[in-house]
Structure 1
Amino acid sequence: MSDSPLSDLLPADRLAAALPRPGTWRPLPPAADRATWGRVPVAPRARLARWAEERLAGSWPPLPPDGFEAFGVRGDRVHHEGPYFARRSRMTAAVVRTLLAGPGAATDQLIEGVRELCGEPTWCLPAHERSPRPGGTPAPDPERPTVDLFAAETAGLLAFTSLLVGDELPPEERGTIEAEVRHRVLAPFRERDWPWLGLRGEPLNNWTPWILSNVLPATLLLDDDPGTQAFGVARAVAALDRYLASVPADGGCDEGIHYWWRAAASFFECLEHLASATGEDGAFRLPVVASMARYPVAAHLGGEWYVNFADGRPVLRAAEPGLLYRYGVRTGDADVRAQAASMPPATDLDAPDHSLARLVTPLIDDGWHQARHTPPAAPLPRQTWLPDTQVLTAREQAGDSGGLFVAAKAGHNDESHNHNDVGSFIVGVNARPVVIDLGVGTYDRSTFGPDRYRIWTMRSAWHNLPLIDGHEQAAGRHHTAADVGAQLSATVATLTLDLAGAWPQEAGVRSWRRELTLARGAKPATLTVRDDWHLAEQPGDLALHLVTTGPVAVDQAAGTLALGPDGHRLAVRFDAAGYRAETEERSVTDAKLRAVWGPVVHRVRLVAVRPEASGATVLTFQAARNTP
C-alpha cells in the first residue's frame, strides 16, 4: 500500500476535475423535501421531536463573560463549555424540528441561532485557545481565529444548517454563515500549519479526522471559488493520508472506545464526503480502513458495556449506531453491520461530539431502518488479538455474553489519551465489568497538562497492576511492555508480556512477567493471571491491586474474594499464606465517573506478607455460578 493511498486515488488534478461546481454539492435533501423527511420512522421521529422540543424551550443560554478566566485561573472547563455546548444543541434542535415538522416549524429559533452563534467572539474553547494573554490566561483573537475541534464543529453545524434549512433564513443570515465560516475556519485551515495536520511529523490523533469531517463539508458547501475549494479539499486529503499512516494495521484505537467515534468514525465520514463529492470510493477497500471498522466489535464486552482502556467511557451513550452500520455496508462487513443494528439508539444527544449531520443522516437511511426492524444479536467474537495495538479480548463462548470476559493490554505509556496501565486488564461477568478500568472523568486544565498523572484515574495505582515498594508506573514512550505475545485457540486465549519497562529505573524492576490465560476447556471457565518477577533488591512492600465496583467480600483463611453484584459475581482465589487481602473504598465525586460506577468504587490490595526480590504468584477468576 502506498504511503499516500488517498492522494493516489484523488491526486490534485483529478480532484480539481471531479469536484462539483461550488454551491452544487447536496449530500442531504433540504427540509422542503417532504417526501424524504416525511418517511422518517415513527420511533426515531418521536424521540428526536421530544428532544428538540425540550431544547427549544426557554431562552438562549448566554456565554459567561468570565469563561476564559475561569479556565485560565481555576482550570475550570465546565463553566464555559456547559452553556457553549447547550447553545449548539439548541441550534441543532431547531434544524431537527424543521426537518421533522416541515418548513416554518422553528424559523424564529433558526434565525436567532445563527445570530447568536455568529455573534460569539470565538468558536474555540478556552482549553484550546492558542493566543494567551500575559500570565497564561487564554484570550481569543478575532483577527487570528484558532481552529480547534469545536470551531470546526460549529462550522460544520452552520454549513449543514444552511444546506438543510437555508430557505428558512433571510439572505442576510445566509450571508453571515458563509462569511463567518470562511473567516473563522476555512481560511485559517488553508493558510496556517496546524499541529493536527501533521505537516512537521507531529503525532496525530482524533483531532485530525474530527476537524476534517467538518472542514470538508463546510468547504464543499460554502466555498464559492473552484480553485480555493480544490486547494482546501486536497489539503484535507493529504492530512487524512498522514493520519491513516499513523493508524495501526490492526485498526485498533489506543485512545479508547469513546474516542473511536471521533477517530475512525470521523475518518469514515471524511471518506463518505469525498466519495459523495467525487465518485471515488476506492478508499473503503483499503485493508486498514476495514480493520478500523471492526474495533467496536472487538471491544464489546456485552450489552451496553465496552472495553474502556485510556480515556474511554465504558457505556457509549452518545454513539450513533447508524454511522457504524453505514461503515459496515461500505466495507462489506456483516459483523460490523450486526454490531450497529444490535446497539441501542444514542441517548445523549447533547454530547459535544454529536454533530448535526451525524444525527440526521441515519433518519433517511432505508437500509438502516430495515436492519433495525429485526435487529440481529451482537457478534460477540470468541477472541480478538490486535498485535499492533497490543490488546486482547476474549470471552467464554462466541456469541454469548454470559460467563467470563477478559480484556488485557500491553502497549506503552505514551499512547494517545494515555493512562499508565501497561499490563492492566478488565474482567467481566455476564456482560458487565467487575474488575474494571475506571476510565476518565470530567476534563479540566490538569487533564492534558503536566499534572495529568496526579489524577487518580490515570495512575497505575488505580489500575489492576502491582505497586512495587511504593513505585507506580511512569509516563513516556520508553515505558513499554516487552516480549509481548498472544496464543489463541478454541479452548485458550493467552497474553504474555514483561511489564518491567513500565516502571522508572529507581524501582529496580529487572523483569515482571505477566501471563493472562482464559481457559475454556473445562467448566467453569477460568482466567489465570500469573506474575513472575525479579527485582534488584528486596522491596519493603509489594502489593497487587484489583479495582472493582463492589461489593467486596474477603475470606482470608480460604484465600478467596467475592467481587461484584448479584448476577455478576466474580470468585477470585489468591495465595492466602503469602498475601493479606485489604479493601478500601473511594468516593466518586466526579459527575461523569459517578454516572457510570455509582458513588463508590473499591480497591482490593493483596499485600505480600514477606515481600521478596524474586517470586511468583497466581490469581484465578471464575464466574460465580451460584450467587450467595
Structure 2
Amino acid sequence: MTSLMQRWRSLSDEVRRTAVGAAAARLGVPDISERAAWEALDHEAVAALLGEAEKDRAQPWPHTLLSDYARYWRDGVRVAYEEPVGELRRRTAAAVAAAAVTGEESWVDHAADGLQLLCEQTTWCWAAHESFASARNEVVADPDDPYVDLGAAETVEVLAWADLVLGPALDDRVPGLRRRLRREARVRVFVPFLQRRDWHWLGLDGRLHNWNPWIHGHILSAALLLEPDADRQLGLVDLVVEDLSRYLDAMPSDGGCDEGYAYWWNGPARLATALELLDRITAGAFDPWGVPPLAELARYPGRMALGDGWFVNVGDGPARPSTQQPWHVLHRWGRRIGDDDVTAFAATHGSELPTPQPGLGRLVLALFDRDWWAAKPGATGLPRSTWLPETQLFVARDAGLALAVKGGHNDENHNHNDVGSFIAAVDSSPVLIDLGQPTYTAISFSPRRYEQWVVRSAWHNVPLVDGQEQSPGADSKATHIDVQEGVSLALTLPDGAVRRKASLDAGAVRVADTWPAGHEIVEHFVIAGTPQRQRPGELVIRALSGAVATLTWNAELGAGTLERRPVDDDLLSAVWGPEVHRLTIDASALTTFELTVRNTG
C-alpha cells in the first residue's frame, strides 16, 4: 500500500522544490491587486463578509490579559483567555477578507492593525497547552521558548494567508509588516517545529488525534507562504507530509473518527485541506486521493447525519454542532474522489455562507471555488444503515426513527466512558442522548477528567452493574460483537456480565439487555425533551423537535425514577436547553430487560 509520504517522495527533488517555491502562484488565490478576480466573487457572500467585518470594526479590538491567562492555573478556567484570543484571530481574518474584497485602504489599515496585534502577543499558545511554563512553575509564557500548539498554528495560518492576499497593499501601506510576519512565523513555529521531535501531536508514540492534521496543515500553509529560504521551506514541507502520512496510516479503514463528527472537521477535514494544497502546488502530480482510507473518511459526515442539523455524537462532540462548517471542503473532497453522494450531501448545506470562523485559508479557498458556488442542492438520502467495524459504530434509520450504538473502548480520543451506549432519535431529534462536549476547563484532560458528570457512564445510556460504573482505559471495551447489517448490533459490555442487543426494525428502536442471575442491574437512560406522562412500564416524552416519543419497558419493574438535571454549562445548554432528565430503572429482580422507543406523534 502506498502511503502519502511514499507518493510525495516519488516526485523528484526538482519537482517538489519547484512546486514549493512557486506555491503562492499555484494555489489559485489572487492577491489584492487583481481586482477583477475579487470583484467577480459571489455578491451575497461578499455582503455577508463585509457585514460581519463592519460590526467588528465598530468595536474595540479584543485584548488578551495575563490575569485571564493565569486563570487556567488559578481556578481552572480556560475560556477567559481563549475566547478573546480567538476573537482577535477571527476579527483579523475578517478584516483581511474585507480588505481583499473591497481593495480599500482603510480596510488594509484595519487588517494590518489586527496582524500587528497578533505579532505583539507574548505567546500564541493557549494556557491549557503551555507545558513549558508549567514545568517552570510559572504562569507567564517565555517568548524565547515557544510552545507550538493549536493556538500557535491557528495564528500563523492567519498571517500566512493575509500575506498572500494582501501582500502588495501591505508593502504599500505598512512597509516592514510582512518582514515581521515572517520573523514571528520563523521564531514561534518553524524553528521549534524543526528542532524538536517530542511534540505529542506528532504521534510518534502511536497516539494520533486531530492535533496532527490541524497543526500540520497550518504549518504547511505558513511554510509555503512565509518561509523565504528554499532549503528550509522544502525541509518544512517534507516533514509535514511525513507527519500527515503517519496520521492517515493510523486512521481506521472504515473511515470512522473516534473523536466524532464535530472533531472530524478539525481532523480528517484538516488533512484534506492540506492534501489539496499539496496537490495544487504540484499541478495534480501528487494526486493523493486514492490513498486509503481517504474516500471512506469523506463519507463519514453523511453517515453520521440524523437530519435537521443533528448528528450522531460520541465523546466530546455536540449532537447539534455549529452550522458554520466549511462544507466546500467536503464538496471539493467529493469531487476529487469522484463520489457524487459526498458532493450532494455537502451541497445540501450550500446556503451556509463561508465565514472566517473555520480559518482564513478555508475562507479564501471557498470564495474562489467556482464549482462550489455553482453547486445546486439536490435530493440526497441518508444511508439506511452504517456499520463501521473498526470504529465499532452502528447507525440505522427507518420511518422517522434513528438508532446509533457505540462499541469501541474507553481509551479513545476525547473519551467518555460509554461503551455500549446508544442514541435514539425521533424525527431527527435525539431523545435518548449522548450529552457530548462540556466547556473545557483545567480538569478536562487531566487525571480528574472522569469527575465530570458528562463523561461518566452513569450519564450515558448504559447500565450500572453491581454498583460499578464503567472504568476508563483500553481494557474497558466491547466484546463478542455481532452485527446484522441494517437491523441490529449485539455486544457484551465491559463488565462482561451484560449482553446488549439494539435494533431498529418494524417501526421501533429496541434495546434488550440480558445477564446471569445474581447481578444487580440498574438501567440508566439520559433524556432530552419534556416528559409528558410516566407510569409503570411507560414514559412519554415530547422531543426537542416537537415529536412525541413513547418509551416502554418491562411493566413489572414499575415506573422507574425520573431525575431532573439542570444544565448550567453553556455548550451543553445550547444543544439540550436548560435541563435534561435521567430515567433510572432497577432491573435486578430479572435477568432480562427490554426498552422500546416508538414515534407516537
The offset of 1:579, in angstroms, is 4.2
Q: Structure 1's 404 and 133: CA in aligned 2 closer, same or farther, altered over 3 A? A: closer
- Structure 1, residues 33-56: CA drift from partner, whole Å, max 9, x if none? 222221222322222221111122
What is the aligned partner in structure 1 of residue 508 from structure 2? Answer: 526
Q: Does structure 1 residue 43 correspond to structure 2 residue 37?
A: no
Q: Does structure 1 residue 340 correspond to structure 2 residue 336?
A: no
What is the aligned partner in structure 2 of residue 239 from structure 1? Answer: 243
1:536-575 alignment runs, 5 A limit? 537-539=518-520, 542-557=521-536, 559-565=538-544, 567-575=546-554
Secondary structure of 2:469's partner? coil
- Whether the 8 Å CA contact 1:115–1:173 is kept in 2: the answer is yes
What is the aligned partner in structure 1 of residue 156 from structure 2? Answer: 155
Secondary structure of 1:577's partner? helix
Q: Does structure 1 residue 271 correspond to structure 2 residue 271?
A: no
What is the aligned partner in structure 1 of residue 592 from structure 2? Answer: 616
- Whether the 8 Å CA contact 2:466–2:519 is kept in 1: the answer is no
Q: Structure 1's 296 and 24: CA in aligned 2 closer, same or farther, altered over 3 A? A: closer
1:382-393 alignment runs, 5 A limit? 382-393=384-395
- After TM superposition, the runs of 4+ consecutive aligned structure 1 residues lying more than 6 A away are none
Letter in 2 for 1:388: E
Q: Does structure 1 residue 366 correspond to structure 2 residue 367?
A: no
Of the candidates 8, 11, 18, which is equivalent to residue 10 of structure 1? 8
- Structure 1, residues 445-500: CA drift from partner, whole Å, max 9, x if none? 111111111111101111111122431111001100001121125xxx1111000x
Letter in 2 for 1:440: Q
What is the aligned partner in structure 1 of residue 167 from structure 2? Answer: 166
- Out of 511-520 and 189-198, give the one that drifted further: 189-198
Q: Does structure 1 residue 517 correspond to structure 2 residue 503?
A: yes
Task: Determine what percentage of the aligned residue pairs are the same residue.
Answer: 36
What is the aligned partner in structure 1 of residue 556 from structure 2? Answer: 577
Q: Does structure 1 residue 450 correspond to structure 2 residue 447?
A: yes
What is the aligned partner in structure 2 of residue 308 from structure 1? Answer: 313
What is the aligned partner in structure 1 of residue 94 from structure 2? Answer: 93
1:258-337 alignment runs, 5 A limit? 258-279=262-283, 280-317=285-322, 318-337=324-343
What is the aligned partner in structure 2 of residue 59 from structure 1? Answer: 60
Q: Structure 1's 336 and 134: CA in aligned 2 closer, same or farther, altered over 3 A? A: closer
Provide structure 1 residue ranges, at least 5 long, that are not aligned to the other structure: 398-402, 502-508
- Structure 1, residues 577-621: CA drift from partner, whole Å, max 9, x if none? 02442111111111111111111111111223xx24x71111111
Mapped to 2, the partners of 1:444 and 1:347 lie a distance apart of: 31
Q: Does structure 1 residue 415 correspond to structure 2 residue 412?
A: yes
Q: Structure 1's 47 and 16: CA in aligned 2 closer, same or farther, altered over 3 A? A: same
Give TM-score scaled by structure 2 length. 0.94
Mapped to 2, the partners of 1:212 and 1:194 lie a distance apart of: 15
What is the aligned partner in structure 2 of residue 605 from structure 1? Answer: 584
Letter in 1 for 2:592: A
What is the aligned partner in structure 2 of residue 400 from structure 1? Answer: none
Q: Does structure 1 residue 462 correspond to structure 2 residue 459?
A: yes
- Structure 1, residues 553-590: CA drift from partner, whole Å, max 9, x if none? 34424544445257421111111102442111111111
Letter in 2 for 1:153: E
Provide structure 2 residue ranges, at least 5 long, that are not aligned to the other structure: none
- Whether the 8 Å CA contact 2:45–2:354 is kept in 1: the answer is no
Q: Structure 1's 575 and 554: CA in aligned 2 closer, same or farther, altered over 3 A? A: farther
Mapped to 2, the partners of 1:566 and 1:446 lie a distance apart of: 33
Mapped to 2, the partners of 1:86 and 1:566 lie a distance apart of: 32
Mapped to 1, the partners of 2:7 and 2:465 lie a distance apart of: 52
Give TM-score scaled by structure 1 length. 0.91
The offset of 1:107, in angstroms, is 1.9
Q: Structure 1's 13 and 330: CA in aligned 2 closer, same or farther, altered over 3 A? A: closer
Letter in 1 for 2:265: W
- Whether the 8 Å CA contact 1:92–1:157 is kept in 2: the answer is yes
Letter in 2 for 1:591: D
Secondary structure of 1:343's partner? coil
Secondary structure of 1:473's partner? coil
Letter in 2 for 1:114: L
**RMSD of Structure 2 on Structure 1 (CA):** 2.0
- Whether the 8 Å CA contact 1:56–1:93 is kept in 2: the answer is no
The offset of 1:328, in angstroms, is 0.7
Mapped to 2, the partners of 1:464 and 1:349 lie a distance apart of: 36
The offset of 1:202, in angstroms, is 3.8
What is the aligned partner in structure 2 of residue 505 from structure 1? Answer: none
- Structure 1, residues 139-182: CA drift from partner, whole Å, max 9, x if none? 31211211101101111110110000122212310100011111
1:97-246 alignment runs, 5 A limit? 97-133=98-134, 136-169=137-170, 170-196=174-200, 198=202, 200-246=204-250
- Whether the 8 Å CA contact 1:560–1:574 is kept in 2: the answer is no
The offset of 1:134, in angstroms, is 6.4
